[in-house]
Each structure stands twice: as C-alpha cells, then as structure tokens.
C-alpha cells in the first residue's frame, strides 16, 4: 500500500527533526519547491541550509505531532517542538502542498509556548 500524502509529510518532518535533512529533501521535495518562511529566501536550498544550521545548534530537539490532517493535495501538521529538553517549546503548524507524491510548497507558522497562558485550554 502506497503511503498517503499525510504519511509523506510526517516522514519528512521526522527525518528533518532527526537531522536527516538532505535525505528528507531527496526523498520528499519536488523540483521547483518553494516555501513561505519569512526568514529565508524562497528556494529549497536556502531552507535546507537553515534546517541544517538549526540541527547543528539543537541536535536533540524533540517534535511531538499533535494533529495531522489531509485535504486533497494539502497536509497540515500541528506539532509541539522543543529545541532543548527543558524548553516549554513552541506550537508549529506546517502546511504542505503536494504535486504527485512530492512536496511542492511549504508554509510554516510558529508560536512560543508562554510561561503563563490566559487560555485554560492550552495550545495542544
């Protein structure tokens, strides 16, 4: 049975978190990939280098997927990311648009987990 697009998005995030960034790009990223992260130029190589630098700084980061949703060629993943074990971390949402079996476009949005929250429901 072929992996779903949701499975492919989750595998990409798992590989990137584990530091297998170049392998993740080879396996999952489409030619002509573009992204919408405001801190990097919009091409695949720039984002990949940023991910590699982040992994060098935080090799033990942990990501816990809380929700993963697929709608047609789009997958959204809500994750609790901790760069270091003692961090409160941040809530991340990655939105993937696929062309065929490969990621053609990526949006990523993040919000730090505050020490004190007004919302009794929490972020997760």
Residue 3 has what pLDDT? Answer: 95
pTM over 0.85: yes
Q: Which of 88, 89, 107 is nearest to 97 (CA)?
A: 107
Enumerate the β-bridge partners of residue 106: 35, 96
What is the Cα–Cα distance from 88 to 114, expressed in whole angstroms? 8
Q: Which residue's structure tokens are 């990223």? A: 29
Per-residue pLDDT of the chain (124 residues; tens, 9 = 90+): 899 999 999 999 999 999 999 999 999 999 999 999 999 999 999 999 999 999 999 999 999 999 999 999 999 999 999 999 899 999 999 999 999 999 999 999 999 999 999 999 999 9
Kindly list the structural domains of the chain, giving each domain's residue range(s) and its CATH number in brackets, ordered by start: 5-112 (3.10.450.50)
Q: Which of 78, 101, 87 is nearest to 27 (CA)?
A: 101
């Amino acid at each position: 049975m072929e992996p779903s697009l949701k499975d492919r998005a989750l595998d990409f995030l798992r590989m990137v978190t584990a530091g297998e960034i170049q392998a993740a790009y080879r396996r999952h990223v489409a030619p002509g990939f573009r992204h919408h992260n405001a801190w990097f130029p919009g091409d695949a190589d720039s984002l990949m280098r940023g991910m590699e630098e982040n992994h060098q700084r935080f090799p033990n980061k942990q990501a816990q997927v809380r929700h993963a949703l697929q709608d047609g060629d789009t997958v959204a993943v809500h994750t609790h990311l901790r760069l270091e074990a003692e961090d409160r971390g941040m809530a991340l949402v990655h939105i993937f648009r696929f062309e065929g079996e490969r990621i053609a476009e990526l949006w990523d949005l993040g919000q730090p987990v505050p020490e004190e929250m007004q919302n009794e429901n929490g972020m997760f």
